[in-house]
Structure 1
């Protein structure tokens, strides 16, 4: 069994670099919540991103450094799914003041952790004073249990074995990239696009194009080009839990300016555009798959079956089930 102690390179991720005495920098407090059976895949890359940002900005006149801490319900050693043991700090009332960002680890232990009443109560208290809360993979189940808004519930319970395996493999493949993107957005805000770009290139050089698109690295592009890039991003990511604020960041615009420019260039609001993209995939799945309506709703970013039914009746004038029967009958299926 492997160990990570306070002196190990793993916990070295959390330390801010030494600064000269005359240099005054404010500290951003970042917490990563771990639990037994968690995965280090996403949690580790989040810590590495902030550590790299500290290193890259240590000799420059930037105003922020990052202090990253690993937390768990009881503190002490927790055993990750890879059998690596990591030392963590316990939860206490000091954290009720919140963090600049809180990341919740994923992994097979997330569903058990979501039943820990003390942990869920702590999340509810801390969330109120924390600027950014991001789940990593299965970590969303803890936020669902805490009834924290902005996290879409996913249910793999009645998938076929093959579908479940494909979803799990896809999630694992995306965990590292998605958690890195969330951390990079914070670094871009605090230290600028150049530092965020350098961090991305250092840690994941092969993912540069995807990461730069999210970061809004669109220097030299016209507002129309930026809006079209954001529209493509909305189309490509419509099945995930994304927001219009995320799309505005892709376009490197303020949210207010993005809304105005998007309507001008595309002819509809970003919200309507996103809804149309999700409806198109939903209609295809209703016709071509045997998935239940609730599963389709979750898989296409539409929330749940009840919400999908309301949207369908408003937009399509029929229920999802009626649409499925009608299109299959017309197609002779």
Structure 2
């Protein structure tokens, strides 16, 4: 039996809609089980690993993505073709959620959909995960876990019905996973880098899957502004300039400032501050992290600056906010 050992790719943002907890990189989870289709998850890893390589992180910085293969019990998991992938065990380390969680497809999904331990973990992690992407039959696992009311959660189910043609199913898995990964890479790192990733991993598909604004010409001004706002939110733990955001929207700085204020009812700097403040509030409520560390992770610099922002906006210190929010939660 062939054995493929893929160490968990250090391919390192942890964004959760409820907690907005961030690490140095965006966390991508790929949930596997015995009998999964290999091609789809393999494409996910290849896309994000390539994005890491092409992003050219500055010295001392973490790469933008960390991808982790996961399974219920960890260790070696056999694919439908008997190739084996090494996985991390699902446990409390992953209770804080993911930026994106992919659920593998394959015939093994039918049995996985009956595993109450797995379903229980999936229910708990959904509320702390920004987006869930199912691959083929992986939708059966997510459906078995049941719906979770969560306004910030995006769920995409590619391959709405499983095909009986194994070759066609595998090809669809690869294409759908590539498009899905590129959507997130474009959101986080921009269209040009996403096109470069597509060119390297899926030659000839870049123009179709990641059209540049000049080629597509279909985005309205409002859509461009919202895309820039999402990019600002995704990168708010890093230095963000108006020039960078304007480039995402493919506008001049002056036009971007005017259009953003009209569309969002606040200036870009105020919007970014609101996002950072919300993240800091969630950190204070849900974690025991010291204020200085929260300030760094929320992009507000240091504890003194965060304290000034809190006093100006909320007439409270961060410590007072933490105490009051926990009293309210316990009440």
Normalized against structure 1, the TM-score is what?
0.56
Give SS of 2:106's match: coil
User: 1:144 aligns to what?
Assistant: 143
1:1-333 alignment runs, 5 A limit:
1-5=1-5, 10-11=6-7, 14-16=9-11, 26-59=24-57, 65-148=64-147, 150=155, 165=164, 169-213=167-211, 217-219=212-214, 222=217, 225-226=218-219
Q: CA deviation at 1:252?
A: 9.2
Q: 1-side partners of 2:179 and 2:161: how far apart? A: 24
Which residue in 1 is equivalent to 2:314?
none
Using CA pairs below 8 Å that are at least 6 residues apart, which structure has the higher relative contact order?
Answer: 2
Please list the CA deviations of residues 204-243 of structure 1 after superposition, one character each: whole Å capped at 9, or x if unmatched. 0132233124xxx222665xx446xx9xxxxxxxxxxxxx
**Partner SS, residue 143 of structure 2:** helix
> Shift of residue 155 of structure 1?
6.2
Q: 1:108-145 deviations in whole A, cap 9, x for unaligned?
A: 11111111110011111111100111001111111111
Q: Structure 2: how far apart are the matches of 1:86 and 1:37?
A: 11
Please state which structure has a larger fraction of its residues in helix.
Answer: 1
Change (3 A) 1:252 1:31: farther
Task: Rate the CA distance shift 1:220–1:48 in 2: closer, same or farther, 3 A.
Answer: closer
Stretches of structure 1 lacking an aligned partner (at least 5 in a row): 18-24, 157-163, 231-250, 258-333
Q: Deviations over 1:219-270 (max 9, x none)?
A: 2665xx446xx9xxxxxxxxxxxxxxxxxxxx999xxx9xxxxxxxxxxxxx
Q: Distance in 2 between matches of 1:179 and 1:83?
A: 21
| Unaligned runs of at least 5 residues, structure 2 | 13-22, 149-154, 224-248, 252-258, 260-331
Aligned residue for 2:213, secondary structure, equals coil
Query: How far did 1:16 drift?
Result: 4.0
| Partner Cα separation in structure 1 for residue 51 and residue 144 of structure 2 | 32
Q: How many residues align?
A: 208
Structure 2 CA distance for aligned equivalents of residues 88 and 67 of structure 1: 14
Q: Quote the offset at 1:197 in angstroms.
A: 0.8
Distance of aligned partners of 1:100 and 1:48 in 2 relative to their CA distance in 1, 3 Å threshold: same
Distance 1:85 1:252, change over 3 A: farther
Describe the superposition over 1:46-74 as per-residue Cα deviations: whole angstroms up to 9, x where unpaired: 00111101111135588861111110011
